[in-house]
Chain A
Amino acid sequence: DTGVSQNPRHKITKRGQNVTFRCDPISEHNRLYWYRQTLGQGPEFLTYFQNEAQLEKSRLLSDRFSAERPKGSFSTLEIQRTEQGDSAMYLCASSAATGSWPDTQYFGPGTRLTVL
Chain B
Amino acid sequence: QKEVEQDPGPLSVPEGAIVSLNCTYSNSAFQYFMWYRQYSRKGPELLMYTYSSGNKEDGRFTAQVDKSSKYISLFIRDSQPSDSATYLCAMSESGGYSTLTFGKGTMLLVSP
Per DSSP, chain B at the interface is: loop
Q: Which of B24-64 contact A (CB under 8 A)?
A: 32, 34, 41-46, 49, 51
Per DSSP, chain A at the interface is: loop
Q: A40-B104, A102-B32 are in contact. Are A31 and B49 (CB under 8 A)?
A: no
Q: Mark A65-90, 1 if CB is under 8 A from B, else 0.
A: 00000000000000000000000000
* 18 new A-B contacts at CB < 8 Å, known A45-B100, A104-B46, A105-B100: A41-B104, A42-B90, A42-B103, A42-B105, A43-B44, A43-B100, A44-B102, A50-B97, A56-B99, A91-B43, A97-B97, A99-B96, A101-B32, A101-B96, A103-B97, A105-B46, A107-B45, A108-B43
B112: interface (CB < 8 Å): no
Interface residues of A (CB under 8 A from B): 4, 31, 40-45, 48, 50, 55-56, 58, 91, 93, 97, 99, 101-110
